[in-house]
Structure 1
């Protein structure tokens, strides 16, 4: 017995259709390294990725580590990644050729994934997949509920600190893409997390479709091999590792014919009658 078809069915030639040949050329073509840095354990950092550039997140030689990613329009933070709509248009776990979409009223691709060394992981025996949009970031508020303790270095707090230099606040931090994280829904339809399958040198890379502000938290749970909550919980500091980041500019000519996507041309009246 097959599954029902996806609800969101794009018309041929829509912005949902991806020119795979173009993104394959970006993934394999020549490029110039513009910047590189490391996000330390249990911390966060924000940085800019100009439209037409590539950003690569790499697990370091120290081993696997989960990262919580937020994305905004660099010039308008009201336009930011919309996890729920991305789940509907793309999937609950993303990989190469998938896109992260922005909030209403903008609704356009913010970035396109060009490379993912964990793509071959697929679906495991428990239904787990990598790079999920199912769960949100860990935060000190739910931690207080679950453990009755305060902890200041959850992903939410790391992201809050990361975006402060850009004039953003806690209210701008939003639902995340959990990079390198292995998750799924169990037989009770509840969210589960497993140890990340990432290994030294694995990476996740995307192409900026618009000027982006990106923020990443190195999760305080590390590779998720030790539970943060529940009867087996203990401090997972020993499995916390940094994540390296690189920014690249594609070689001249690789972007020929490309332009930043525009928002849908809806007039925005919402049925409101004008005088």
Structure 2
């Protein structure tokens, strides 16, 4: 066993890593002060996108049974700002749960959403080192599938997410590394990524508080609950273990938001050490 070694990125007092857990606990517990404003299901092997204003909640649910979902998120007003999975792994962890945040890319670097509730929070670490809700891996895609199998398949998570965001003016180039919701993963003894059967039951959910206005997209993974091998000698079509995912969006009573404000983008303005020189036409008359 490896000895415990401290994380590289440590929270200082008052930093954005110092989460006001009491605020998010109040939101989680005050079920009578939220109102369901929209709900829908994402059918098997498809994707869907939706917007949520800042200061709201949304849940991703398993209305039928275990199913993995691949999740993307952007600033609703500027898709250049989007989930930065690698930095979130460093600041929060390779697997996330209650009170963890999903961080945006540079030069924005701010929490986009904060997880307020997780019915799988007690999964912990299993006998193989697996944990749930991972940022370790990324979405399945038709390019890797073609590489491994020589076959075309058009309903991988990358393709589902691409189709989902097209109505919002985004393209394949905007789809990015995902949060794998309800998915158990880890690294084996060869330091290789593994996936295990989804532990979610009917009615489980992962709930988020929106720190800024966001555009979300979700793919119901064509691997379903991942109980069937997708590649290799034992691979077979996992259609029989595919299930829909649900989305619920809630508005909150203003009293719950007292003292909260949407985070500003990172205030670094050092120009990376460069000295800005006025354009030539401004220097000469």
Name the TM-score, length of structure 2 as normaliser.
0.95
Q: Which residue of 2 aligns with 1:43?
A: 46
Shift of 1:274: 1.9
2:36 aligns with one of 27, 33, 36: 33
Higher-Rg structure is: 2
Match of 2:252 in 1: 250
Q: Which runs of 4+ in 1 moved over 3 A?
A: none
1:155 paired to 2:178? no
Query: Which residue in the other structure is 2:186 paired with?
Result: 184
5 Å-filtered alignment, 1:101-116, equals 101-116=103-118
Task: Give SS of 2:271's match.
Answer: coil
Q: Could you say which residue in structure 1 is the equivalent of 2:263?
A: 261
Residue 92 (structure 2) pairs with residue 95 (structure 1) = no
Matches of 1:228 and 1:53, distance apart in 2: 36
Shift, 1:12, TM fit: 1.0
Cα separation, 2, equivalents of 1:9 and 1:37 = 39
Instruction: Give the number of the structure whose residues are more often helix, by fraction.
Output: 2
Shift in Å, 1:264: 2.1
Instruction: Tell whether 2:78 aligns with 1:80.
Output: no
Aligned-partner Cα distance in 1 for 2:148–2:114: 36
The structural deviation recorded for 1:268 is 4.3
Q: CA deviation at 1:2?
A: 2.8
Match 2:56 to one of 49, 53, 58: 53
CA distance in 1, matches of 2:180, 2:102: 12
Taking only aligned residues, the RMSD between alpha carbons, in angstroms, comes to 0.8
Equivalent in the alignment of 1:223: 225
What are the superposed Cα offsets for residues 72-127 of structure 1, whole Å, 9 maximum, x if unpaired?
Answer: 00000000000000000000000000000000000000000000000000000000
Report Cα offsets for 1:149-180 as digits up to 9, x if no partner. 00000000000000000000000000000000
Which deviates further from its counterpart, 22-31 or 76-85?
22-31
Q: How many residues align?
A: 274
Distance in 1, Cα, partners of 2:134 & 2:174: 20
Alignment match, 2:130: 128
SS in structure 2 opposite 1:156?
Answer: helix
- Structure 1: any 5+ residue segments left out of the alignment? none
Q: Which runs of 5+ in 2 are unaligned?
A: 278-285
> TM-score, normalising length from structure 1?
0.98
Q: Greater CA deviation, 8-17 or 183-192?
A: 8-17
Residue matched to 2:6:
5
- Structure-2 residue corresponding to 1:171: 173
